[in-house]
Amino acid sequence: MYTAVAAGGFRRYATYRAATAAGVFTNTAFGIILVYTYLALWDEKPHLGGYDQAQAVTYVWLGQCLYATLAIQGGGVEKDLMERIRTGAIAIDLYRPADLQMWWLATDLGRSLFQLLGRGVVPFLVGAVFFPMALPTDAGTWAAFLVSLLLAMVVSFGIRYLVALSAFWLMDGMGANQVMMIVGIFFSGMTLPLNVFPGALGEVVRVLPWAAQIQMPADVLMGETGVAGAFAFQAGWAVALLAAGRLVQSAATRRVVVQGG
């Protein structure tokens, strides 16, 4: 059943072809701008954050590839879930013979897969063709990267699901979404690799769940971290976030009132 739900999520986003094409163009354009910004920065500070220029370029294009895939600024299923909570339609979801969290996770994984293939691959290939990138040549590293990417998708969902559940108390998710957007951009490493952050700040941001989204898959792809340790870090946060979501969901659904009952 959840496979069918994921397939439905994939098909839903596949219908927005013009939006997908616009997203490909936007991510490619921003990627080019960021690459030249990074190159200028790495010219001044070679091996900043432990990366050489090719690795810095790879990080840029991977970030553009995963921007929509992981819904770094939101815009995934949490928007729909918040709206259903606001209107009360969430009551219908609770009557379904399916687990609420697993249903939305499957939907979001379908969305993520489409965004990866439909919007993320092309900018990444543009980067690989026109800029020097530090890409692995062995299949094992690519396979490890794909596992890391799947874990990143689950972590991303876990964060956004918790934010969406806040609508049970706030009723309007605009403020929570804005906070999530700002925090996501900063702590995920979309602006700069988390390896660049200095001192205590760097130590903190590298152990937060957002580090599991871009920084960890990037380091796995470029061989900058141990695969087992990366998987443990991401899986640990995935389990913790899903468990927290389960607890908040249990508390939140007690607030659901339908027809005064």
- What pLDDT digit, counting tens, does each position of 184-228 carry? 888 988 889 999 998 999 999 999 999 999 999 999 999 999 999
Entry pTM: 0.92
d(CA 250, CA 261): 18
pLDDT for res 75: 75
pLDDT for res 256: 59
pLDDT for res 49: 87
pLDDT for res 260: 43
> For residue 9, what are the contacts with CB-CB under 8 A and spacing of at least 6?
77, 106, 107, 108, 109, 110, 111, 114
What does each of the 261 residues of the chain score in pLDDT, given as a tens digit?
A: 888 989 998 988 888 889 899 999 999 999 999 999 999 999 999 888 889 999 999 999 999 999 999 998 877 788 888 888 888 888 888 888 888 999 999 999 999 999 999 999 999 999 999 999 999 999 999 999 999 999 999 999 999 999 999 888 887 777 888 888 888 888 988 889 999 998 999 999 999 999 999 999 999 999 999 999 999 999 999 999 999 999 999 888 776 554 444
Phi, psi angle pair for 190, to nearest 5°: -65, -35
pLDDT for res 259: 42
Cβ pair 21, 123 in contact under 8 A: no
One-letter amino acid identity for 178? Q
- Domain chopping of the chain, boundaries: 2-255
> For residue 170, what are the contacts with CB-CB under 8 A and spacing of at least 6?
176
Per-residue 3-state assignment (H helix, E strand, C coil) for the chain? CHHHHHHHHHHHHHCCHHHHHHHHHHHHHHHHHHHHHHHHHHHHCCCHHHCCHHHHHHHHHHHHHHHHHCCCCCCCHHHHHHHHHHHCCHHHHHHCCCCHHHHHHHHHHHHHHHHHHHHHHHHHHHHHHHCCCCCCCCHHHHHHHHHHHHHHHHHHHHHHHHHHHCHHHHCCCHHHHHHHHHHHHHHCCCCCCHHHCCHHHHHHHCCCHHHHCCHHHHHHHCCCCCHHHHHHHHHHHHHHHHHHHHHHHHHHHHHCCCCCC
